[in-house]
């Protein structure tokens, strides 16, 4: 199985994360969280992940409408909206900002150097200038890092296993600043397997149809979708184009994605809530070590495979953590 059910702590000592026992929080203080998401919370799959975060906050003793307020903003894939959303959110005087993925983290960093920011996650927090080190972040930003470059390579390998006849693999990128880093990992993996990687850029949702026309022109027969936010459109276009695609995030799968390989998204969001709890209890984000997920999941969709005329091999099926029928 690809899944590894444990979590590694970065730094010299283990963080004393909250126990499973639900603590009692004082009602004298109402905590406020600003939740910034580049995608669309109108998408049920994305909202379900948001609910994982909210559920973990509740488990930790923070009840919305009682001692907790969560102000959320979602950019619907329009990253240029993030700065104005942050202006609104900071005006509400949050105790912490939960920033989902690199674009939101970067925008939050530009907006404030005093309000604690929780990364959920960043693929390269040191290279992006968010933190000084994993063990000692050194500023107002801490949280989760998803720096496993080999995970990108593993996704390419899985795509090759799913479609052994593939020769030319498109790698779909947006204007997400982490995508060039991811593409470098994908390019190396593809070449090692004898595949030709084709970078395809769609800076905004409006560019997606042209991106898929480019894939057709380049004779791409498989697709790696880097972590993005315009999920329904990408899945729809992949189905229309009859191209086998693997995704870096699980919310694509209920929409009809063929396969996904990624860190446990639910685990990342639960940890984000636990970072909030630690900060509410007085922890300094500058000294809260950044943690990396090491639980990875492979999800397969049999119905989508059938629509593409594909059959997952027994070997691929045996490696899956979840199969959608």
- For helices 208-217 and 231-241, what crossing angle results, to 10°? 30
For the stretch 131-161, pLDDT in tens is 999 999 999 999 999 876 678 999 999 999 9
Name the residue among 104, 118, 32 with its Cα closest to residue 75.
Answer: 104
CATH of 7-147+264-294, one of 3.40.50.10860, 3.40.50.2300, 2.40.37.10, 3.90.930.60: 3.40.50.2300
| Integer Cα distance of 147 and 162 in angstroms | 25
Residue range 237-244: average pLDDT? 97
Residue range 86-114: average pLDDT? 97
What per-residue confidence (pLDDT) applies to 22? 43
| Integer Cα distance of 235 and 264 in angstroms | 20
**93 has pLDDT over 80:** yes
Residue range 14-22: average pLDDT? 40
For the stretch 257-277, pLDDT in tens is 999 999 888 999 999 999 999
Q: Does domain 149-262+297-324 have CATH number 3.40.50.2300?
A: yes
Q: What pTM value is reported for the model?
A: 0.79
What per-residue confidence (pLDDT) applies to 149? 64
For the stretch 285-298, pLDDT in tens is 999 999 998 789 99
CB 285 within 8 A of CB 140: yes
Q: Could you please report the per-residue DSSP string of 39-104?
A: S-TTSHHHHHHHHHHHHHHHHTT--BTTTEEEEEEE-TT-GGGHHHHHHHHHHT--SEEEE-HHHH
Question: What is the Cβ-side half-sphere exposure of residue 149, based on CA atoms within 13 angstroms?
Answer: 13
Question: If pLDDT is split at 50, 70 and 90, which confidence band does 27 have?
Answer: low
Domain boundaries, given as residue ranges, for the chain: 7-147+264-294, 149-262+297-324
Question: If pLDDT is split at 50, 70 and 90, which confidence band does 1 have?
Answer: very low
User: From residue 56, how far is each of 50, 61, 64, 146, 200 by CA, in Å?
Assistant: 10, 9, 12, 20, 37
Cis peptide before 41 (omega within 30 of 0): no
Q: Is-same-fold flag (7-147+264-294; 149-262+297-324)?
A: yes
In the block, tokens 């968010």 appear at: 130
Which backbone phi and psi does 317 adopt, to 5 degrees? -60, -35
């Amino acid at each position: 199985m690809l899944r590894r059910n444990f979590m590694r702590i970065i730094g010299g000592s283990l963080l004393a994360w909250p126990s499973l026992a639900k603590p009692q929080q004082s009602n004298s203080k109402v905590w406020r969280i600003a939740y910034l998401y580049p995608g669309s919370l109108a998408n049920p799959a994305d909202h379900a992940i948001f609910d994982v975060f909210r559920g973990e906050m509740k488990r930790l003793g923070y009840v919305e409408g009682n001692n907790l307020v969560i102000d959320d903003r979602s950019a619907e894939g329009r990253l240029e909206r993030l700065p104005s959303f942050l202006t609104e959110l900071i005006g509400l005087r949050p105790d912490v900002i939960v920033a989902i993925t690199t674009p939101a983290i970067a925008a939050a960093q530009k907006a404030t150097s005093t309000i604690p920011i929780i990364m959920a996650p960043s693929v390269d927090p040191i290279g992006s200038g968010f933190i000084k080190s994993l063990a000692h972040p050194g500023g107002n930003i801490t949280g989760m890092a998803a720096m496993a470059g080999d995970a990108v390579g593993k996704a390419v390998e899985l795509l090759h296993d799913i479609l052994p006849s593939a020769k030319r693999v498109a790698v779909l990128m947006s204007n997400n600043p982490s995508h060039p880093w991811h593409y470098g990992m994908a390019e190396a993996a593809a070449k090692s397997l004898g595949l030709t990687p084709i970078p395809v850029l769609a800076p905004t949702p409006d560019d997606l149809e042209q991106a898929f026309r480019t894939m057709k022109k380049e004779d791409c027969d498989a697709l790696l979708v880097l972590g993005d936010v315009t999920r329904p459109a990408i899945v729809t276009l992949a189905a229309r184009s009859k191209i086998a695609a693997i995704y870096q995030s699980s919310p694509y799968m209920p929409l009809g994605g063929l396969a996904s390989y990624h860190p446990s998204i639910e685990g990342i969001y639960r940890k984000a809530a636990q970072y909030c709890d630690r900060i509410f209890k007085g922890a300094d984000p500058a000294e809260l070590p950044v943690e990396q997920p090491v639980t990875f999941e492979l999800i397969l969709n049999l119905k989508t495979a059938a629509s593409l005329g594909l059959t997952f091999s027994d070997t691929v099926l045996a490696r899956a953590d979840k199969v959608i029928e």
